[in-house]
Amino acid sequence: MLNIKNLKAKVIENDELILKGINLSIKKGEVHAIMGPNGSGKSTLANVLAGRPDYEITEGDVEFESKKINDLPPDERSHLGIFLAFQYPSEIPGVRSFQMLKASIDAKKDYFKEKKLSVREFSKIYDQKVKDIGIDIDLTKRSLNFGFSGGEKKKNEILQLSVLEPSLAILDETDSGLDVDALREVSEGVNSMLSKDRSFIIVTHYQRILNYITPDFVHVLVDGKIVKSGNKELALDIENNGYEKIISEVSN
Amino acid sequence: MSSIKPLNKFNSIFSKNIILNDDIKKLKQNAWDLFNKSGLPPSTNTTELWKYTNFSDLKKIDFDNSYKNDFLVKDNINILKNDQWNNIFIINGFFDESQSNFSNEIVVENFSNLDKLKYLSNKIGSIADDSENEFISLNSSLMQDPVIISINDQKTIKNINIVMITVDQNSNFCNFPRVFVKAKPKTNSTVVETYINLSDVESKNLTVPVVEYLLEEDSKLNHKHIQLDSGKSFLFHFDRILQKRNSNFISTSYSNAGFLSRYDIHSNLNGIDSNCNFHGLYITDKKQQQENEISITHSVPKCSSDQMFKGILAGESKAVFSGKVLVKKDAQKTKAFQKDLNFLLSKKAEVNTKPSLEIYADDVECSHGATAGNMDNSMLFYLQSRGINEDEATSMLIRGFAQEIIEEFDDENIINFLGNILNNTIKKLDIEGII
């Protein structure tokens, strides 16, 4: 469902090349973990896949469901089924979670020329998901992510994931800044979304989130390239020996 | 130094004045003498009060105040009426009895209540000082039908909806609505003060409303100010407030700018334990200019004030926020806060924000702050990644910025009314070149 071929991408502002030739193939229902040291390009890859306009693809292709999406705007990628759970979700004044998600669903229905949900129909779905994820109902009445704790922000991302039901969910360092309890709750939310029709890319620096969400494949990204791929044992190896070992292996 | 001459063009209007009694005649003559001394402010930034105002376009126009009272704007007017409220319509500076309807919870008087004229002249001008501002003295000189509204009932009363309309037949029309609102002790009321220009968008008319508020002891007045200006018009709108002991004036305003619009509000906190809040939203586009002159005088101890304005600027428009707080020597235990936040949607838009605190007491708690920011690309990408296209995401962020103030109107009818106006305004904004 996702095919990344020799992907190179730079930061537009300073012309710095971050992704230096990524090759990755993901099939329906697979969970892939992307690990790597700081500055290796993990988050850039996540953002480039979602279409962040701060980056420019200089070479290579991203194919999603057999369609080249290199030049699609972020909203269209979302309609097609790509979802990015942000490492740092934006605080958006005056916009509430319900309002944004209703607009998201409306836009998607528009895109596929389907009938929109009424406010009542959407409310029913929304309220149930809020309950399932375990989000304080008072939080949903506030401006999006305003005054939310780190854990609440990440849970709110998972709420959006569960409402939008994407076919590819990219979690960008969802575990960062979470205590043990919040990490468990967020992971439970993700696990409840696992399905044979939904693929996941879990971008993380640490192995610990993978104790809760079991990956089918683990890839190690160093300096903008995938240098090693394996199964979940690879993550444990990194946990025990650090990235240094892999980096020296590769350079030899 | 250039000499400041009064605009002789107002002379003919003054000479046509309807003078109904000696007190009014005296008041008008004094105001006219003051205006003749000052004239309109100079065209360039020579005074602090008019630092960013360019009067050159205004001075080119020969104003006239004549019009025939036979226009048909009923459809437009109906959206401004609310059957559940007390409605007071002032059209082109004249109280319009046929459009107005109000219960006996309030007393409304104007020039036609001849026996009350003595009473009337004792009120008008007692709070708005003709020597303070050129346009206040111009209003006092040329007002034709001042209206006095007295809130006497201590039980909860229906909203008082004061609607001032400019609808001209000639492009150079000018008018000077004047209102005095008196809130008696222990009353609790809501006044919706709306100004709307229903003239042709090409019209270069001038409107100078002056509204005086007297808040007696223990009274509370919720003030909801709506300015719907448009096109090429000039507006200088003054609210002058005098607050007695333990009174509370809570004001929320929404301003759509005309060519040059000024919202000028001042409260004198003159009785201990009083409070006033001025929160507002202003929106400018194309070559419009909106000026907000917000000033509070803390004359006595233990009063508090809070100013919070937000601006949305597009096109080549300009906005001014001048927030002043004067804390007099005896006004100990004063609390005064002010903030002005601006959202610049175009590279050519410009805001001049000028918070100032003048403090002569030593035991006070005051703060001020101002910001001007552009569209946040991270927020925009966040919404886009959720399937919302760039245009809709942009509108959503602008509406979100405005929402905090809109919600403070705290009335479903007004929030919906302004929400629609805001959406239509946002759709037309010239926001090219920022994203």
Q: How high is the ipTM of this complex?
A: 0.97
In sign, the C-alpha dihedral spanning B330, B331, B333, B338 is negative
Going by C-alpha positions, the residue among B307, B160, B173, B156 that lies closest to residue B224 is B160
pLDDT on residue A71? 95
Give the nearest chain A residue to B375 (CA atoms).
A92
Q: Residue A177 is encoded by which pair of tokens?
A: 């800044």
Q: Is the Cβ pair B396, A101 closer than 8 Å?
A: no
Mean pLDDT of B7-18: 76
Residues B386-416: pLDDT tens digits? 999 999 999 999 999 999 999 999 999 999 9
CA A225 vs CA A23, A84, B186: distances in Å? 8, 21, 74
Asked whether B204 and B170 are in contact (CB, 8 A), the reply is no
Residues B218-240: pLDDT tens digits? 999 999 999 999 889 999 999 99
**Which 8-state DSSP code applies to residue A40?**
S
Of A71-80, B9-18, B170-179, B343-352, least confident by mean pLDDT is: B9-18
Among candidates A52, A107, A160 on the partner chain, residue whose Cβ is nearest the Cβ of B381: A52
Strands in A67-68's sheet, in edge-to-edge order, are: A17-26, A2-11, A55-64, A67-68
Nearest 5°: phi and psi at A96?
A: -95, 155
Euclidean distance between the first and the last CA atom of chain A, given in angstroms as a whole number: 34
What CA–CA distance (Å, rounded) separates A25 from A1? 8
Asked whether B189 and B162 are in contact (CB, 8 A), the reply is no
Asked whether A154 and A179 are in contact (CB, 8 A), the reply is no
Split at pLDDT 50, 70, 90, the class of B42 is confident
What is the number of alpha carbons within 13 Å of residue B141 lying toward its C-beta? 27
Give the Cα-Cα-Cα angle A51, A56, A62 (nearest 5 degrees): 55
Going by C-alpha positions, the residue among B128, B118, B120 that lies closest to residue B148 is B120
Residues A222-247: pLDDT tens digits? 999 999 999 999 988 888 888 988 88
CA A11 vs CA A15, A19, A62, B376: distances in Å? 5, 10, 17, 17
pLDDT on residue A230? 93
Q: Which of 45-64 (A) contact B at CB < 8 A?
A: 50-54
Report DSSP letters for A213-239, one per residue: S--SEEEEEETTEEEEEE-HHHHHHHH
Q: Is the Cβ pair B403, A74 closer than 8 Å?
A: no
Mean pLDDT of A129-135: 92
Mean pLDDT of B185-211: 94
Q: Is the Cβ pair A107, B387 closer than 8 Å?
A: yes
Mean pLDDT of A180-209: 93
Taking the domains of chain B in order of start, what are their residue ranges?
6-271
Give the nearest chain A residue to B399 (CA atoms).
A94
pLDDT on residue B139? 96
Residues pairing with A192 in the sheet: none
Split at pLDDT 50, 70, 90, the class of B159 is very high
Are β-strands B260-269 and B220-228 bridged in parallel, bridged antiparallel, or unpaired? Answer: unpaired
Percent of chain B, pLDDT > 70?
A: 91
Max alpha carbon distance in chain B (Å)?
Answer: 70
> B28 vs chain A: nearest CA distance in angstroms?
47
Split at pLDDT 50, 70, 90, the class of B21 is confident
The reply to whether B377 touches chain A by the CB within 8 Å rule is yes
Going by C-alpha positions, the residue among A192, A240, A227 that lies closest to residue A213 is A192
Are β-strands A217-222 and A92-96 bridged in parallel, bridged antiparallel, or unpaired? Answer: unpaired
What CA–CA distance (Å, rounded) separates B159 from B223? 10
pLDDT, chain B, mean:
90
What is the number of alpha carbons within 13 Å of residue B422 lying toward its C-beta? 25
In sign, the C-alpha dihedral spanning B410, B414, B417, B421 is negative
Going by C-alpha positions, the residue among B149, B127, B155, B153 that lies closest to residue B139 is B127
What CA–CA distance (Å, rounded) separates B91 from B196? 10
Split at pLDDT 50, 70, 90, the class of A212 is very high
pLDDT, chain A, mean:
94
Q: Is the Cβ pair B382, A51 closer than 8 Å?
A: no
Mean pLDDT of B165-190: 92
Whether residue B4 has pLDDT greater than 50 = no
Which of A92, A98, A109 would best serve as a mutation to test chain B binding (most B beta carbons within 10 A)? A92
Q: Residue B225 is encoded by which pair of tokens?
A: 């100010």
Percent of chain B, pLDDT > 90?
A: 69
Residues of B in contact with A86 (CB under 8 A): 382, 385
CA A91 vs CA A153, B360, B383, B419: distances in Å? 9, 40, 11, 22
Report DSSP letters for A119-178, one per residue: HHHHHHHHHHHHHHHT--HHHHTSEETTT--HHHHHHHHHHHHHHH--SEEEEESTTTT-
Phi-psi bin for A51: left (phi > 0), alpha (psi -120 to 50), beta? left
Give the number of other Cβ atoms within 10 Å of residue B201's Cβ: 11
Q: Residue A113 is encoded by which pair of tokens?
A: 């020329």
Split at pLDDT 50, 70, 90, the class of B3 is very low
**Which 8-state DSSP code applies to residue A211?**
G
Residues B242-289: pLDDT tens digits? 999 999 999 999 999 999 999 999 999 999 999 999 999 999 999 999
Surface-to-core class of residue A65, CB atoms within 10 Å of its CB (0-12 exposed, 13-18 middle, 19+ buried)? middle
Tokens 């420019």: give the residue. Answer: A56
The reply to whether A78 touches chain B by the CB within 8 Å rule is yes
Mean pLDDT of B322-334: 95
Q: Is the Cβ pair A51, B384 closer than 8 Å?
A: yes
The reply to whether B401 touches chain A by the CB within 8 Å rule is yes
Mean pLDDT of A19-24: 97
What CA–CA distance (Å, rounded) separates B323 from B357? 8
Mean pLDDT of B354-363: 92
Which of B382, B394, B426 would best serve as a mutation to test chain A binding (most A beta carbons within 10 A)? B382
